[in-house]
Structure 1
Amino acid sequence: MNLHPVESQVHISHAKTDGELSAILNLQQQNLPHNISREEAIEQGFVTVKHSFDVLRRMNEKHSHAIAKSRDAVIGYALVMTKEFRNEILVLIPLFEMIDKLKIDSQPLSAANYFVMGQICIAKSFRGLGIFDALYAQLKSSLQNDFNYCITEVAVRNRRSIRAHRRVGFVTVHVYTDPRGEEWEIMVWKW
């Protein structure tokens, strides 16, 4: 994936250190809905899940997260969440419960070899430069021999993220409303 020429100093790799994991959590914190304005959430998107350091580290030990760095600073990430973490994050439990009920290509999705996109985020000053696509390309390159699908869910109100996921290759397979009243699109990227 070619990045915008202005950002040729951005490097895509995998999280390896506790410092990189802490930087992921810092970027995550900056983009949670309660830390940005309503207008910014609509225009720029937002992240929903707040991970603990422990869960983030354990997820990374199974399959390392993709990160984007510029001058040694983490400016983007894509988190790999395998099935075994389905009960670790309360807000994601409804997603896994829906996956258990869905079919793709006439087969139960729950029986498929998949991982869930635990979250993807790009620092504000680096958006629109191809980093989102590059992070997903990195994950596909490193994980396509282990998984057939990447599954994510995006809040329907997060239109920017839905458009970006469709651009990469995700298709919506189901829409549902969670117990809190938030409407979600479950999206699948078939490899």
Structure 2
Amino acid sequence: MAISYTRATTEKELYQILDLQRQNMAEGLSRDELVKEGFITVGHTFAILKEMNDACPHIIAKDGDAVVGYALVMLRSFRNEIPVLRPMFDTADELLPENNYVAMGQICIAKSNRRLGIFKGMYQYYRQQLQNDYDCLFTEVATANQRSLQAHKAVGFEVLKTQITDGVSWELVNWDWTS
């Protein structure tokens, strides 16, 4: 298996992202899977995923032609497109008023490809691709998703704030690219 990192350029890749997303939504996983494997909470339509990608292509990990991981790029201009993420952007503006940040919209790796360094590889590629245009990468991780939170900290993210939105506790994390 030779994993390559690139930016999403085709509709086929976007549909593969949506397929991975569907497989890893919290409501479709057992309690054991939620704890051991982590989960994602926000589903995207093809239209919004493509619109986001057209503005700034998503980061993907591929094994041959198969997308085995993705890290969505979400520019600030999309803050109102997914209502559940609006509080994240509001908090980013409050905590990082002087920073030109980009938001990581979501990260996911196929179950069969976990624990192979792909999470770290995608984030390294993400930084390599975008650090000349942005000061930092901001996102939120559900407090209950400890596997994801620990993985984000290991890459270099720091928790800036915990906030509750619609009854869900979120860790707002930032990866400073200026140092």
Which amino acid counterpart does residue 4 of structure 2 have in structure 1? H
User: Following TM superposition, by how much is the alpha carbon of 1:101 offset from its aligned partner in structure 2, in angstroms?
Assistant: 2.1
Partner of 1:21: 14
Which amino acid counterpart does residue 98 of structure 1 have in structure 2? T
User: Following TM superposition, by how much is the alpha carbon of 1:161 offset from its aligned partner in structure 2, in angstroms?
Assistant: 0.3
Aligned counterpart for 1:181 among listed residues 150, 167, 170: 167
Which amino acid counterpart does residue 64 of structure 1 have in structure 2? P
Partner of 2:148: 161
Give the distance between the partners of 1:38 and 1:70, measured in 2 at CA. Answer: 29
User: Following TM superposition, by how much is the alpha carbon of 1:84 offset from its aligned partner in structure 2, in angstroms?
Assistant: 0.2
Aligned counterpart for 1:69 among listed residues 53, 62, 66: 62
Give the alignment's Cα RMSD to 1 decimal.
0.9
Q: Confirm whether residue 124 of structure 1 aligns to residue 111 of structure 2.
A: yes
User: Following TM superposition, by how much is the alpha carbon of 1:111 offset from its aligned partner in structure 2, in angstroms?
Assistant: 3.7
For residues 9-158 of structure 1, the aligned pairs below 5 Å read 9-102=2-95, 109-158=96-145
Structure 1 moving runs of 4+ over 3 Å: none
**TM score, norm. by length of structure 2:** 0.96
Q: Which runs of 5+ in 1 are unaligned?
A: 1-6, 103-108
Identity %: 48
- Aligned length in residues: 177
User: Following TM superposition, by how much is the alpha carbon of 1:166 offset from its aligned partner in structure 2, in angstroms?
Assistant: 0.4
Cα deviation digits, residues 63-103 of structure 1 (max 9, x gap): 1111111131111000000100000112101111222322x
Cα deviation digits, residues 21-78 of structure 1 (max 9, x gap): 0100000010001111111011100011101111111111121111111131111000
